[in-house]
Chain A
């Protein structure tokens, strides 16, 4: 019984064993490890999520995937190394803009390795279906004073949320092209999201 529990624990991703940031410039691909988040931590949220990828101590309680100890500035550099250009976050005058991204999630499902677009892990309450495929926007996070660095930098360093579903939050590196400010439109797709703690690999490429 105990050994079975230990095996189960070993299969779950911890911050230490999640894959670090990798750049394949030739293939135009950036990847990093993450794990499936625990869902429904706060009953009041009624399953609503606002992010898809967060960092430790970001808002992982309303997200699908939490990265390992990722430096968001290094991820920002990595995306530029594969030729992507950041735009800007949404503000009162403009919606978010930037290069289009394709984001996939790869994970072990039994003996098989599965890969799905990250949108598939998000359930759209409006259409009552998994989120439609989109060109995620490489907005690049709002710039400002970051007290943790005592410098002007990207505010994602403070907020620790990488991929946001609502443009009301200007700090994620990557934004949903649907220019929705706030709401309760999205939930995690429980049919697809692997068990809490399951390690996954997130792959980011330029959208075609």
Chain B
């Protein structure tokens, strides 16, 4: 079978706690998908009806177990947020993909370079069943990153005992709308160097090294901030701009803004890491932002391994329209997700 013409369906009848409707936010290795699957199959996207937001996938072979379906019918329209339109643009007849479903007909399908979550109805006859799209699994490129053909081959090799499932890769950032829309559709030329970050496959995961803290002395509480005014479509180079105001912020919020839209903020200082381990940062905000530890951008929702101590932190933020909000959460090796406390933040006072 030519891989270019193969749609790979990983069809999973899952006995275990296969991820349900919510996003799979936990690091979820491919082994989990396989172990929880009863059936793995291959197929090909056969028809795409953009007007009705539906598509069909023809099963060509089962990799594990036996698929109940000759044709999987996808109903993409009901998906969440911006996802249906973005996904429809990615569904191309002839394109390969990978899919998982369980006895309750909850499913994951891998198309091009991303997973989609779908749910079906086990009481429907296979030839009449529709699978309803929920959302793109925006965190799951940590499970596998590559093409559907590569995933199919890997799954076949794993089933044949020729390969081992790779660990999940915490370095892969969450898929954003912008990254997703920048992803070339199947069949277009792909320059691996120019793929959006969530679709870049890193070197095989090696034992990561925890980042050393700067641990400066003479710090005071709070973060330094610079406030800018302007209209930006994306984060500007704040170094090239003159701040309209500056000072010390007790915590990461927008209280120092002088108007409700068209402004930017840059917070700089240090964050106290209580003990060595993986830390995960979540930012609740409508517009653009970037978080750096030292000079490395932090993958929002991804893990960053830090040693105990004071690490340099920078948060850049822009607010285009009114009603902005900013909330920074963190979770660590021994505490659950919570608001980043002001007590963990400090800055070097101006000389």
**Hey, which bits of chain A sit against chain B, CB under 8 A?**
41-45, 48, 50, 57, 59, 61-62, 92, 142, 144-148, 155, 158-159, 168-171, 181-182, 184
**Residues of chain A contacted by B132 (CB below 8 angstroms):** 158-159
| Residues B17 and A44 in contact, CB atoms below 8 Å apart | yes
Name the distance in Å between B280's Cβ and chain A's nearest Cβ.
14
Chain B interface residues (CB < 8 Å from chain A): 17-24, 26, 51-54, 73, 75, 77-78, 80-82, 104, 119, 121-123, 130, 132, 134-135
Q: Is the CB of A144 within 8 A of B77?
A: yes
Cβ-defined partner of B54 (8 Å) among A42, A43, A57, A147: A147
Q: CB distance B20 to A59 under 8 Å?
A: yes
Contacts of A144 in B (CB 8 A): 53, 77-78
Chain A minimum-CB-distance residue to B122: A57
A41 neighbours in B (Cβ, 8 Å)? 17, 20
Smallest CB gap from B52: residue in A: A145
Q: Other than the known A144-B78, A158-B132, A170-B78, what 7 A-B pairs have Cβ atoms closer than 8 Å?
A: A43-B17, A44-B20, A44-B26, A144-B53, A145-B52, A155-B77, A155-B78
With A44-B19, A44-B26, A57-B123 as contacts: A145 and B54 at CB distance below 8 Å: yes
Residue pair A145, B22 in contact (C-beta under 8 Å): no
A148 partner, pick from B22, B51, B130, beta carbons under 8 A: B130
B210 to chain A, nearest CB (A): 27
Which residues in A have their C-beta under 8 angstroms from that of B23? 182
Looking at the complex, which one of B77, B82, B134 makes contact with A92 (CB distance below 8 Å)?
A: B82
Question: Shortest CB–CB separation between residue B218 and chain A, in angstroms?
Answer: 37
Are B52 and A45 within 8 A (Cβ)? no
Q: Is the interface of A mostly helix, strand, loop or mixed?
A: loop
Q: Residues of B contacting A181 with CB < 8 Å?
A: 81
Is B130's CB under 8 angstroms from A62's CB?
A: no
Chain B positions within 8 Å of A168 at CB level: 80-81, 135
Query: Quick one: closest B residue to A168, CB to CB?
Result: B80
Known contacts A57-B123, A158-B130: A50-B78 contact under CB 8 Å: no
CB-defined contacts of B119 to chain A, threshold 8 Å:
57, 59
Kindly name the residue among B18, B21, B24 whose own CB sees the greatest number of chain A CB atoms within 10 A.
B21
- For A145, give its contact among B77, B104, B122 (CB under 8 Å): B77
Asked if B20 contacts A42 (CB within 8 A), the reply is yes
Q: Which residues of A contact B121 (CB under 8 A)?
A: 57
- 10 contacts across the A-B interface (CB closer than 8 A): A45-B22, A57-B119, A145-B51, A145-B53, A147-B73, A147-B75, A155-B78, A158-B132, A171-B78, A182-B80
Q: Given contacts A145-B54, A147-B52, A147-B75, are A59 and B21 in contact (CB under 8 A)?
A: yes
> Which residues of A lie under 8 Å from residue B82 when comparing CB positions?
92
Tell me, rounded to whole Å, the shortest Cβ–Cβ distance linking A198 to chain B: 22
Establish whether residues A62 and B21, one from each chain, have CB atoms under 8 Å apart when the complex forms: yes
Shortest CB-to-CB span from B281 to chain A, Å, is 16
Q: How far is the CA of A159 from the CA of B20 in the complex (A)?
A: 14
When A and B form their complex, which 6 residue pairs have the shortest distance between CB atoms, in order from nearest?
Answer: A145-B52, A155-B78, A144-B77, A42-B17, A57-B121, A168-B80
Residues of B within 8 A of A42 (CB): 17-20
Q: A42-B17, A147-B73, A147-B130 are in contact. Are A142 and B78 (CB under 8 A)?
A: yes
Nearest-CB distance from B252 to chain A (Å)? 18
Contact at B78–A158, with CB atoms within 8 Å? Answer: yes
Expressed in whole angstroms, the minimum distance between the Cβ of B253 and any Cβ of chain A is 17
